[in-house]
Amino acid sequence: MSAIDVLEKLEEREIEELNRREFFKFCGRMAVLLGLSQTAIPRIARAVEKAARDGRPSVIWLNFQDCAGNTESFTRATAPSVGEALLDHVSLDYHEVLMAAAGHRAEERLKEVLKEYSGQIIVVVEGAIPTKDDGIYCTVAGRTAIQILKEIEPHALAFVAVGTCAAFGGIPKANPNPTGAVGLERIIRSKPVINVPGCPANPDVIMAVLVHYVLFNRLPELDAQRRPKFAFGKKIHDTCERRPHYDAGQFVLSFDDYGAKQGYCLYKVGCKGPVTYNVCAAWRWNMDASWPVKSGHPCLGCSERDFWDRYYPFYEHIPKTGGFGVEARADDIGKVALGLTGLTVGAHALYTAVVKSAERFAEKLASKAEEGTGESEGKDEGGEA
């Protein structure tokens, strides 16, 4: 159903019916994303409705060193229109970007929420947290990000770090990291932290984490980097629709060549799919329309730790090697080293041969002068016996 259909339906005042259908569509998608069977759909619907009725868990959303890209992404979650998501399906009680209140009112609301729902608050955090100089590089209402988080921590049920910045420090943490930015997991010690990295994070995955909680009353299973396994269990490369071209060895060599038109694999133009965990290939973006590799651009590895430093250059296979004056490719340095080794070895062979024959020549001269019986001849061939 396109956005235009939605608007038309709204005008026809079929909003009730529309919401209901959209709502079940949403529950169906959540079931798929969480790996549940179809029979789970009514259960999801009941659980989400109950959560919306009770207004808990309460969700508050904090923005720190970020670009609000995850908020943008969240408002484009596939099934529910943003209004529904906010008002019905989750009770988003505080979100600086989306809430109507502002200034002191907003901060009062936050205090109320902390008091009212203490222990039942899921705190979504977007953006990295600066730690240098007491964290003064990011303040909201006069308090630093660290102060705000420490104040909320005792009241929280769990934290969800959305986006690579909140999860791993992301772009603010990129070398030389002027603000001492870190991911949320370095600040929050006493409460669970769920990482949903990505630049931005996939909106449906953020929703699915919340739905998982209201459905099962516990947080989803996490991997060693605290990412939900249902979304980060597989690499892009292992779910990519261009994969058959990779296995065949059919590559795009430049963005306007035959291979690009044929939809060949983007490995040679720097695709980081082989080293990136995310759902993009299976759970695409913008109403399931597309994702970077589908649209012809190599994966940048945006959901990986330190991707800005260690997955760069984006259009090359592996990072460059510094310390050689200019940044060079490992293979170029390697080839030079191998060439020099070959030359050295060759030169040494030649050198030995020359010195040795000179030595033998000198010996011959000496023995001739002595008029001896050639006793010294056995010396070099001795090993043959």
Partner 1 sequence: MKRITEFITAHPYDLPVRISHWVMAFSISVLMITGYLIGNPPFSQPGDASDIFLMGTIRYLHFVAAYFLTAAFLLRLYWGFVGSRESRWSEMLRWDGRFWKHALDEILALVWPVRPWRLYFGHFPIAKIAYVFVYLAVAFSILSGFVIYASAQYSPLWRFVAEWGLKPFGDNLNWVRYLHHWLLWFFAVFVVIHVYLVVYMAVRMMTSEVEAMLGGYKIIRREDLAEGEEVESVA
Compute the half-sphere exposure of residue 131: CA atoms within 13 Å on the CB side of its CA. 13
Beta carbon nearer to ligand SF4, 277 or 308: 277
Asked if 242 is part of the footprint of ligand SF4 (rule: CB under 6 A), the reply reads yes
Select from partner 1, ligand SF4, ligand HEM, none the partner in contact with residue 129, using the beta carbon and a kind-dependent cut-off of 5 to 8 Å.
none
Select from ligand HEM, ligand SF4, partner 1, none the partner in contact with residue 367, using the beta carbon and a kind-dependent cut-off of 5 to 8 Å.
none
Which residues, at least 6 apart from 71, have a Cβ–Cβ distance to it below 8 Å?
61, 63, 95, 97, 98, 126
Select from ligand SF4, ligand HEM, partner 1, none the partner in contact with residue 275, using the beta carbon and a kind-dependent cut-off of 5 to 8 Å.
partner 1
Burial 182-192 (b: 16+ CB within 10 A, else e): bbbbebbeeee
Asked if 233 is part of the footprint of ligand HEM (rule: CB under 6 A), the reply reads no
Query: What backbone phi and psi angles, to 5 degrees, belong to 362?
Result: -65, -40
Beta carbon nearer to ligand SF4, 168 or 267: 267
DSSP SS3 for 273: helix
DSSP SS3 for 190: coil
Which residues, at least 6 apart from 6, have a Cβ–Cβ distance to it below 8 Å?
18, 81
Beta carbon nearer to ligand SF4, 85 or 240: 240
DSSP characters over 68-113: SHHHHHHTT-SSS-HHHIIIIISEEEEETTT-S--HHHHHHHHHHH
Instruction: Tell me the torsion sign for CA atoms 344, 349, 354, 356.
Output: positive
- Residue 288's nearest CA partner among 19, 28, 7, 20 is 28
- Binding-site string for ligand SF4 from residue 201 to residue 240, where x marks contact by CB under 6 A and - marks none: -----------------------------------xx--x
Asked if 274 is part of the footprint of ligand HEM (rule: CB under 6 A), the reply reads yes
Residue nearest to ligand SF4 (CB): 273
Binding interface with partner 1 (CB under 8 A): 223-225, 233-235, 237-238, 244-251, 253, 258-259, 262, 264, 267-268, 272, 274-276, 301, 304-307, 310-311, 317-319, 330-331, 333-334, 337-338, 341-342, 345, 348-349, 351-352, 355-356, 359, 375, 378, 381-385
Binding interface with ligand SF4 (CB under 6 A): 236-237, 240, 242-243, 246, 265-267, 271, 273-274, 293, 299
